[in-house]
Chain A
């Protein structure tokens, strides 16, 4: 057979075969009952700061047969932000100072609800000589992003000891890479959302220098942000999303068994992690991260704004009324949690000895 015939035939055959396989295996094109209607996409990362996103989706899917929105999992802050800016995602969990910065830069986004409170730690290697904040002087400390609240938290803690960022060496690093960096002692200390901090403790080489709840109680790192135009055109959907996330938060904080169920189904269906990791960070101690009291309140954000300006990441060009919309949940005390139990997760939790 001449070359041309071979190339044309085999390329065409290959193209058809691989496309059909991809469509069947990954895109689910041949699955029955597939809807082509445009879904409401919500971006999130596999961190506990964004836990209410998958929890809400899973519970709604089980209670109503439809998640109500499509959770899109990202792997790092830049991609998550860019997909939000390009209008691929309609809403997203995002770092509070990053949302505020976007608003300052003229991107019309609003913070409509908080993701969590607390849920961050600063970890050092267990064999290191760092026992107090002052010991961090001259050490290499990793934070997720310059707009992360972990960086602001560090700034605040250093300031209280009369230190500044000049006294330490600050590096930016994606949270999933942090445990390995601490293990190999490429950095001296790491700070990001859970479960990556808990992982170093669970694996036996990390030691807590501080938990957020001890140095900045009620700390907020991630918030739910929505573009202004989505609020205008699709207010009902945004309201439904916020209500669902609020109800999920209350459900998570109702009792430890609920959290342990969440550890099972979120690890399995959304994070693709070993459930023992979430079991650990959601339980030890139970107030490591909290999912109630999540209304958007002015004083919290004025504090972040103030620190952001001092740390040089915000300019104060956007005020609370520009970047926040607190009308979706006026009073978080009135929220009712979901009534939900996932049998498979309960069974697995019992097997792991975390549910009685």
Chain B
């Protein structure tokens, strides 16, 4: 992956303007086509249950007026922040350790590979039995879903370090702690960050499943609640749209990290 901002610097201003127009204009055009097709599709099929984009828009406005939209977004972001934060704090060190010490890798990797493919939905009963139905259960589910991508990417990053870095470090006589801090961690950072980006996507992805438990707030809850509310599929789709848009925003934020020098070298190699 190359850094687009640096590419732009190399081309004349006119072309840069055109590429910016493309970068912003094209997605908007595709989005508009999608919404138009959706509206037309609902109209042509004559469905009375499936909402048109207009219904969804007014659904979002209604939620906003009731003050529910902000509440639900905050609740979901809070749970994802905690679950994902715990996953980062635990997953990176764990992955680095497993990647470095082969004995640990042999011991724990099969266990991780067994747990990794289990969907958070399957964990719902366990989460309720362990934590009841307050915020802890969804946080646990989000943690579970995001910890494995982080661990695995950190593990792979250590295993893929170029041997020349390690030989150089040994020649400088670095101790074990220094080796970790000054060579291994920086060398793996770009790949770890990719893992984090994937994990954040997954964490946000499972928010609906995690909030199927009887919590009484959140965007996932909004979808479940709208299903209970009779013919409110406009709110179901509104919840889906909000989750999608916030997911996009989260990804944009994490991608900002790629502009830092500590990470950028890893992408332009």
A positions within 8 Å CB-CB of B: 2-3, 6-7, 11, 14-15, 18-19, 21-22, 25-26, 43, 46, 72-76, 78-80, 82-83, 85-86, 88, 176-177, 179-180, 183-184, 195-196, 199, 203, 271-274, 277
Contacts and interface: CB of A to CB of B under 8 A. Distances in A.
Interface stretch (B22-30, B143-151, B238-246, B256-264): B256-264
Contact of B231 (A86, A199, A272): A199
A315 B81 CA distance: 47
Interface stretch (B7-15, B52-60, B160-168, B211-219): B211-219
Contact of A176 (B77, B125, B132, B228): B228
A277 B232 CA distance: 12
B133 to A, nearest CB: 5
Contacts of B216: 26, 73
Given A72-B214, A203-B231, A86 B225 contact: no
A135 B192 CA distance: 61
B229 A273 contact: yes
A18 B230 contact: no
B228 A79 contact: no
A75 B132 contact: no
B49 A180 contact: yes
A88 B49 contact: no
B47 to A, nearest CB: 9
B216 to A, nearest CB: 7
B60 to A, nearest CB: 16
Which 8 residue pairs are nearest across A and B when measured between Cβ atoms?
Answer: A88-B132, A22-B78, A82-B128, A3-B260, A176-B227, A3-B262, A26-B217, A74-B214
Contacts of A2: 260, 262
Main secondary structure of the interface of B (DSSP, over half): helix
Contact of B132 (A83, A183, A272): A83
Nearest to B215: A26
Nearest to B213: A79
Nearest to B221: A75
Contacts of B231: 179, 199, 203, 274
A204 B233 CA distance: 17
Main secondary structure of the interface of A (DSSP, over half): helix
Nearest to B224: A75
B230 A79 contact: no
Interface of B: 48-49, 70-71, 74-75, 77-78, 81, 85, 124-125, 128-130, 132-133, 212-214, 216-217, 224-225, 227-233, 257, 260-263
9 contacts: A25-B71, A26-B217, A82-B125, A86-B130, A86-B132, A88-B133, A179-B230, A179-B231, A180-B49
B238 to A, nearest CB: 14
A16 to B, nearest CB: 10
B240 to A, nearest CB: 15
B48 A79 contact: no
Given A26-B78, A78-B124, A199-B231, 10 more contacts: A3-B262, A18-B77, A19-B81, A72-B214, A74-B133, A82-B125, A86-B132, A180-B49, A183-B48, A274-B231
Contacts of A85: 129
B214 A6 contact: no
- Identify which of A11, A76, A180, A272 gathers the most chain B CB atoms within 10 Å of its CB: A272
Given A79-B124, A88-B128, A273-B229, A3 B74 contact: no
A184 B46 CA distance: 12
Given A72-B214, A74-B214, A75-B212, A25 B85 contact: no
Contact of A195 (B78, B128, B130, B230): B230
B229 A18 contact: no
A85 B230 CA distance: 29
A271 B217 CA distance: 14
A73 B227 CA distance: 14
B48 A18 contact: no
Contact of A272 (B78, B225, B233): B225
Contacts of B262: 2-3
B164 to A, nearest CB: 23
Contacts of B224: 75
Contact of A46 (B124, B125, B217, B228): B228
B214 A272 contact: no
A79 B212 contact: yes
A21 B74 contact: yes
Contacts of A22: 74-75, 78
A78 B263 CA distance: 46
B214 A79 contact: yes
A272 B128 CA distance: 24
Nearest to B233: A180
